[in-house]
């Protein structure tokens, strides 16, 4: 189902949580919404679900207006599935009953799904790998298993749009990666449109077809994971998504010279105009390399964080912290004086 948000605004008293959001979620698309705490991600999801009414603007689903400031369809009249951070399973229902519930009670269930509801429950439990736990109660499940049930339940009635709000954030790191893969596989199989809110940029980069970066109630940038990562349009996106170092200096065409080392010239093509205008180069930690040249960013190693395959280093360059990644074979020590340059781009 195609969903469109047109100039959506949301006011809570005097506070404007959303300031004019324009976004299209194409049929079958996986859209991740990322941004710092309080930027309006959950509010946007709640508007899509029908738990909130916009103060202005329109939401269209299949070209029909489902929400405007004067009228909004309630959640049960929208063909959507929901998965939240907390598992929100009904404590008195077995796993298979949780997954059956939408098939019995949702108004959009296709007749063939309703007719073969037992088979549909089995299919969904298979997809999330829980067939062997169909008769368990929620209290007898681990966190990861509960969230799988919540996903199976949200998808059993085959909604046209699945809304997920930080669905993996209460799970440990290993389970998060495991379920992330599963959600991707389910999406490939089922092809429902998904809007997925997350704090975790790596989750968004790994899973989404399209990433929406929000800040202060507005969209900063919309793009594919590659576009957002390699071609950030603003300083905010560069530092939020790829933890880029925002190095000050001057541009000459596609060449950049850091202000702490004007004789250095880095070839840095395809950077957004906004960086050229503000005299900033967004350099990601993995683009910087230790260099034997006298030119470059010169500074003192302040901290070293061993991360298994690599070491994450912080260098003080003229009072500013610069982050870079180096191999574990580089026997750097805190206090070493180093020179850094941008590597091949
Ligand atoms: N019902 C409400 N009444 C008043 N203010 C609200 C209400 N709901 C949200 N807000 C405010 O709107 C802003 C956006 O909130 P929202 O929950 O959408 O942010 P978020 O990006 O999802 O944040 P987080 O990542 O911390 O969950 C916040 O400043 C929040 O305090």
Residues 167 and 252 placed together within one structural domain of the fold: no
Q: Are residues 261 and 136 in the same domain?
A: no
The closest-lying atom of ligand 1 relative to the alpha carbon of residue 35 is 21
The DSSP result for 248-317, as a single string, is: EEEEETTEEEETT-TT--EE-TT--HHHHHHTEEEE-GGGEEE--SSSSEEEEEEEEEE-SSEEEEEEEE
Q: Quote the CA–CA distance of 311 and 327 in Å, as a whole number.
A: 6
192 found inside a domain: yes
Give the pLDDT of residue 345. Answer: 52
pLDDT in tens, 264-288: 999 999 899 999 999 999 999 999 9
Q: Compute the distance from residue 173 Cα to the ligand 1 centre, in Å.
A: 26
Atom of ligand 1 nearest to the CA of 214: 21
For residue 33, is pLDDT > 90? yes
> Contact at 8 Å (CB) between 204 and 197?
no
Instruction: State the CATH number of the domain containing residue 250.
Output: 2.40.50.140
299 inside domain: yes
ipTM: 0.96
- Note whether 8 and 47 are within 8 A (CB): yes
Check which CATH number belongs to the domain holding 177 and give it: 3.40.50.300
What tens digit of pLDDT does each residue of 153-210 get? Answer: 998 988 999 999 998 888 888 888 888 888 898 898 888 999 999 988 889 999 999 9
The model carries a pTM of: 0.90
**Among 227, 257, 286, where does a domain finish?**
227
The closest residue, in CA terms, to atom 6 on ligand 1 is 12
The answer to whether position 260 is within a domain reads yes
Q: Of ligand 1's atoms, which has the minimum distance to the CA of residue 40?
A: 18
288 part of a folded domain: yes
Q: Are residues 92 and 199 in the same domain?
A: yes
> Does a structural domain hold residue 233?
no
- Which protein residue has the closest C-alpha to ligand 1 atom 9? 43
Beta bridge partners of 337: 300
Q: Which residues form ligand 1's pocket by a CB distance below 6 Å?
A: 12, 15, 17, 35, 37-43, 199
Atom 29, ligand 1: residue with shortest CA distance: 38
Q: Looking at the domain assignment, is residue 237 inside a domain? A: no
Question: What is the residue range of 52's domain?
Answer: 3-227
Q: Report pLDDT digits (tens) over 38-51.
A: 999 999 999 999 99
Same domain, 110 and 222: yes
Are residues 28 and 147 located together in one domain of the fold? yes
Residue % of the chain over a pLDDT of 70: 99
Q: Which of 227, 258, 284 is the last residue of a domain?
A: 227
Q: Cα of 11 to ligand 1 centre, how many Å?
A: 11
**Helix orientation angle between 117-127 and 143-156, rounded to the nearest 10 degrees:** 140
Number of domains present in the structure of the chain: 2
């Amino acid at each position: 189902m195609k969903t469109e948000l047109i100039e959506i605004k949301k006011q809570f008293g005097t506070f404007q949580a959303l300031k004019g959001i324009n976004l299209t979620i194409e049929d079958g698309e996986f859209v991740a919404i990322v941004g710092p705490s309080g930027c309006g991600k959950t509010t946007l999801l709640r508007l899509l679900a029908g738990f909130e009414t916009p103060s202005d603007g329109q939401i269209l689903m299949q070209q029909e207006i489902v929400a405007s400031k004067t009228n909004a369809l309630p959640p049960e009249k929208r063909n959507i599935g929901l998965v939240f951070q907390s598992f929100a399973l009904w404590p008195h229902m077995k796993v298979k009953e949780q997954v059956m519930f939408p098939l019995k009670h949702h108004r959009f269930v296709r007749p063939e799904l309703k007719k073969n509801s037992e088979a549909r429950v089995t299919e969904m439990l298979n997809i999330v790998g829980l067939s062997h736990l169909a008769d368990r109660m929620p209290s007898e499940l681990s966190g990861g298993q509960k969230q799988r049930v919540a996903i199976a339940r949200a998808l059993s009635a085959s909604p046209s749009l699945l809304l997920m709000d930080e669905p993996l954030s209460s799970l440990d790191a290993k389970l998060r990666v495991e379920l992330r893969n599963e959600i991707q596989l389910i999406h490939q199989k089922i092809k429902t449109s998904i809007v997925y809110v997350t704090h975790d940029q790596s989750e968004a980069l790994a899973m989404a077809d399209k990433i929406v970066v929000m800040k202060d109630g507005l969209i900063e940038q919309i793009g594919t994971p590659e576009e957002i990562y390699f071609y950030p349009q603003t300083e905010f996106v560069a530092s939020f998504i790829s933890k880029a170092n925002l190095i000050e200096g001057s541009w000459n065409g596609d060449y950049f010279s850091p202000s702490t080392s004007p004789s250095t010239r880095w070839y840095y093509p395809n950077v957004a105009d906004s960086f050229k205008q503000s005299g900033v180069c967004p350099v990601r930690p993995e683009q910087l390399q230790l260099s034997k040249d006298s030119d470059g960013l010169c500074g003192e190693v302040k901290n070293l964080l061993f991360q298994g395959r690599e070491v994450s280093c912080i260098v003080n360059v003229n009072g500013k912290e610069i982050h870079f990644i180096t191999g574990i074979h580089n026997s750097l020590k805190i206090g070493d004086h180093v020179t850094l340059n941008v590597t091949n781009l």
